[in-house]
Structure 1
Amino acid sequence: MLLPDVSLWSINDQEINLSRLSGWNVIFCYPMTGRPGFAIPEGWVQIPGAAGCTPQVCSYRENYTEFNRNGIGIYGISTQTSETQKEAASRLGLPYPLLSDVNHYFSSTLKLPLLEVEGLKLLKRLTLITQSGMIKKCFYPVFPPDKNVIEVMAWLSENQA
């Protein structure tokens, strides 16, 4: 399946159109990262698949060098605003961009699964592996979140030509 021709704002204040990226890329979608001083939604940890965004984001950070060495791009997507994502990226020292799908253009075009909590429409956790704008693999559901990077690396080592 082709990625949609949709541009999303990155934490670097640039629009990125994932469908126009060349080569191999990993796009992991997550509900939301927590933010110091802000309460998470009530019952968050009881919602299957909701908790664990920060450990997942950090697991990609810890393996970024390996992906980069193999020419594989990493992108994280949530429906949080770019400002919220900038704070998380700075606090967590992320070397890859987070993209905001705050208007649900990307998720609605691909009909990605959402969860609703306290009036927020959030992406359910899933990971896409793409090659030059074509989705080659989708991991869904993703559990546990911090181990997804291991599954992705294993799949790429077996399937990357």
Structure 2
Amino acid sequence: MSGPPSEKLERLPESLVAPLDDGACEHLPGLRLPALSLPATGGPPVDLSTLSGLTVLYAYPRTGQPDQPLPTDWDIIPGARGCTPQSCAFRDHHAELAAAGARVFGLSTQDTAYQSEAVGRLHLPFPLLSDAELSFAHALNLPTFEVDGLTLLRRVTLIIRDGVIRKVFYPVFPPDQNAAQVLAWLAATSV
């Protein structure tokens, strides 16, 4: 792929391997979220279990930085590539999601300082939450994978109402279409 480094992160390669549904999220619908405060970009920690109304939480492995190499074999790990396009899609559909009554959060295992760079560079109008200690992931038994010594979240999107998971999108592919899939589901369903 040619173009500046940031452009490479914002587009998906054509030959991405689609992840398979391994059943790792079948236990999530109907679960109440754990009472955990997660560090947030641009604000105080957030305890998702206490939020009333509709929340969209998209968990992703990690956003890349234009001046840094991607993890080893990133493009051939099913479901790994696409965090920046997914975040940009949620940014681009943010007003529609808000109009549907949903607040949006992204979640990764990156620390808040790393996430803050992504929020600024990508102009995200919503906070990213850090699960660097994997406390949220372990409490919900979210699927993870390892690369280059890092434990990363597999891509999953949760629709939450009043602290209870109502809908799970897993596996998420292609990631740049996830926000549109969420909007379509919200339009067709009364949550």
TM-score, normalised to structure 1's length? 0.97
**Which residue does 1:77 correspond to in 2?**
107
Q: Show structure 1 runs of 5+ residues with no match.
A: none
Task: Tell me, in whole angstroms, the C-alpha distance in 2 between the residues paired with 1:25 and 1:135.
Answer: 9
Instruction: Write the mapping of 1:30-109 to structure 2, written as runs, cut at 5 A.
Output: 30-109=60-139
- Counterpart-to-counterpart distance in 2, 1:142 and 1:129: 13
CA offsets per residue over residues 16-58 of structure 1, 9 Å max, x none?
Answer: 0000111011000000000121111111111000000000000
Task: Mark the runs of 5 or more structure 2 residues left unpaired by the alignment.
Answer: 1-30
SS at match of 1:77: strand
Match of 2:15 in 1: none
Task: State the alpha-carbon separation in 1 of the partners of residues 43 and 148 from structure 2.
Answer: 28
Contact 2:158–2:167, Cα closer than 8 Å, also in 1: yes
* Deviation, structure 1 residue 4: 1.0
Q: Report whether the alignment pairs 1:133 with 2:181.
A: no
Partner of 1:11: 41
SS in 2 for 1:14: strand
**Which deviates more, 90-99 or 7-16?**
7-16
Calculate the TM-score normalised by the size of structure 2: 0.82
- TM-superposed CA distance for 1:102, in Å, is 0.2
Looking at structure 1, the residues matched to 185 and 53 of structure 2 have their Cα atoms a distance apart, in angstroms, of 16
Question: In structure 2, which of residues 157, 175, 180 is the aligned counterpart of residue 145 of structure 1?
Answer: 175
- Residues 1:158 and 2:188 aligned together: yes
What's the CA shift for 1:13? 4.0
* 1:104-123 mapped onto 2 (5 Å cutoff): 104-123=134-153
Q: Which amino acid aligns with 2:105?
A: Y
SS at match of 2:126: coil
Q: Which entry has the higher C-alpha Rg, 1 or 2?
A: 2
> In 2, Cα distance between the equivalents of 1:140 and 1:34?
22
Deviates more, 1:151-160 or 1:43-52: 151-160
> What's the Cα RMSD here?
0.9
1:114-146 deviations in whole A, cap 9, x for unaligned?
010010000000000000101001111000001
**How far does residue 70 in structure 1 lie from its aligned partner after superposition?**
2.3
The residue identity in structure 1 corresponding to 2:153 is L
SS of equivalent to 1:129: strand
Distance 1:156 1:69 in 2: 11
- Structure 1, 109-118 or 30-39: larger mean CA deviation: 30-39
Aligned-partner SS, 1:112: coil
